[in-house]
Structure 1
């Protein structure tokens, strides 16, 4: 009987999270939910639209930068790279921290996590919140969007360098936050600045086509890189491997309480992060192995998930157990 139980647990672990360094197996054609809950048939071997990617590479201003502050919490102000007046005449305050939020695939300026995370920060402190809209590529097929991520990210990094030059806004006062494909976007943005931004938060970074990509989010992209994995199973939307300084696996990182779909699991990453900014009540235990993450046997140090602390530090994998409903 004991052997039988052990075999069940082992099989569950094998199906739940990919082993580090192991490439998950996927067929060429898969059905995939976008961040709005719509199903798409994705050909993982399709050729990307290189012309669309080249267009963005030539002109990073295809990214749209929308500023929100406590003085304009509802209606945004558009900031334009290489247009100093667009910055000077806006409510941007270089003495306040700058929060950059980037959406995922088939999403835009009004898609989550933008509204919820923006509101969380503005309700807590005086900050500049810049929502990046990269819908021109995000609304392409998944393969093209994924291949275009590095160019989108580099463009954001160049914009941040411009912002620093024009206003003196410091890189150590910048926090970049990206969801799904957007997590890899902010990784490339941080890399473009030489890894100088204070914090990067990856919210369930996309997994398909990213497990062996040198362009994915990594610990080298910022001073402190934190990743929250909530849909890391196979199949799942998230990458499932530890890739930051700190990687949180809420409830094991595969199935979230109250969820019955992958989209719900995927979205829980930005929901947990937003509530961590306003409530600060989610704490995880450090895990020494992925087995401990899955079986909830982590007993080491405690670390708070998320929050808005620009000087946050830490390392390792953490499991945090949450509830099924707000504030979790």
Structure 2
């Protein structure tokens, strides 16, 4: 049986404080049941086939097309392009090995210009001196969903190889590296961490994509970094993210499936990166440890407190946590 998700919308461009403009068009009541990852960037007439054909030709050498864009406080809005096997691009850049490094990986049908990159980048640069590297893998991200899923491990491995090269050139430390990925990007950074044998200090998965990933051995897992944190915002049975715990610490804002102020699954899904960016700036969303999924759903968690998200690279925690938030940024 063919599983198809046809979504008609004007734009999926989010800002830090705005509700998506398409909520009146696609609601949880009138949308076709979601069966796949949804883009953060704007795209009209999206049609997704989970049983579509893999574009094998496109996957050839796909990791070589990865683009690594560096932002620091010295160049907060104008990127410097870093290249693997080209030390000059790194040595002449503003990369500082004495500062922490954050790598951001976007999701499906997105690119370097999507809102999550700018929001998270600015949150970090507004907090402390940071090397912010935005990974763009546009060619794979713009492919059909099944092709994108197939290519994520290869692109992630390429990111891992780049990080190894970057450390070799600059003397930076694995202990200062934090990988952040949204949706498909969450599994991508997981594979990057796996390529580095779990040596990076932290990975944060922002509502990791669910369709075709629940039983996929290439999905994000706790062994991919010293600490893996996952923020679940649309992990319901028909949601766009994985609803089960897959990290060291898994956070379930408002129960982990529907978010205040959202009328669409797309909004619920994208709320993960909005929440994370807010915590980088304010470190204000505190979770309560839960004993089971029933407590998460019923909001009866009474365990120890632990902050969700934030910019602390050597953070560590264990367990499942519920966080209650407001409707609008900074939540």
2:5 alignment partner, one of 30, 38, 57: 30
Q: State the distance in 1 between where 2:305 and 2:197 align.
A: 30
Whether the 8 Å contact between 1:176 and 1:199 is mirrored in structure 2 is yes
Whether the 8 Å contact between 1:121 and 1:277 is mirrored in structure 2 is yes
Tell me, yes or no, if structure 1 residue 80 matches structure 2 residue 55. no
Whether the 8 Å contact between 2:2 and 2:51 is mirrored in structure 1 is no
1:48 alignment partner, one of 49, 54, 61: 54
Tell me, yes or no, if structure 1 residue 169 matches structure 2 residue 167. no
Match for residue 139 of structure 2? 136
Q: State the distance in 1 between where 2:125 and 2:47 align.
A: 38
Whether the 8 Å contact between 1:137 and 1:145 is mirrored in structure 2 is yes
**Structure 1 SS opposite 2:294:** helix
Structure 1 position 30, deviation (Å): 3.0
**Structure 2 SS opposite 1:66:** strand
The alignment covers a number of residue pairs equal to 300
Match for residue 18 of structure 1? none
Structure 1: state its 5+ residue gaps. Answer: 1-25
| Superposition TM-score, scaled by structure 1 size | 0.89
Q: State the distance in 1 between where 2:236 and 2:252 align.
A: 11
Q: State the distance in 1 between where 2:41 and 2:89 align.
A: 31
Whether the 8 Å contact between 1:34 and 1:40 is mirrored in structure 2 is no
Q: State the distance in 2 between where 1:312 and 1:55 align.
A: 35
Q: State the distance in 2 between where 1:126 and 1:160 align.
A: 19
Structure 2: state its 5+ residue gaps. Answer: 7-35
Match for residue 283 of structure 1? 286
Q: State the distance in 2 between where 1:27 and 1:231 align.
A: 23
Q: State the distance in 2 between where 1:272 and 1:152 align.
A: 26
Q: State the distance in 1 between where 2:48 and 2:259 align.
A: 25
Q: State the distance in 1 between where 2:319 and 2:130 align.
A: 29
Tell me, yes or no, if structure 1 residue 243 matches structure 2 residue 240. no
Tell me, yes or no, if structure 1 residue 186 matches structure 2 residue 189. yes
Q: State the distance in 1 between where 2:207 and 2:116 align.
A: 12
Q: State the distance in 2 between where 1:98 and 1:30 align.
A: 37
**Structure 1 SS opposite 2:61:** helix
Whether the 8 Å contact between 1:157 and 1:192 is mirrored in structure 2 is yes
Q: State the distance in 2 between where 1:327 and 1:147 align.
A: 35
| Superposition TM-score, scaled by structure 2 size | 0.88
Structure 1 position 27, deviation (Å): 5.8
Match for residue 127 of structure 2? 124
Q: State the distance in 2 between where 1:179 and 1:278 align.
A: 18
Match for residue 260 of structure 1? 263
Q: State the distance in 2 between where 1:55 and 1:61 align.
A: 6
1:308 alignment partner, one of 307, 311, 316: 311
Structure 1 position 223, deviation (Å): 0.3
Structure 1 position 37, deviation (Å): 5.5
Match for residue 92 of structure 1? 95
**Structure 1 SS opposite 2:156:** helix
Whether the 8 Å contact between 1:99 and 1:127 is mirrored in structure 2 is yes
- After superposition, the C-alpha distances for 1:223-247 in whole angstroms (9 at most, x for unaligned) are 0000000011232111111000000
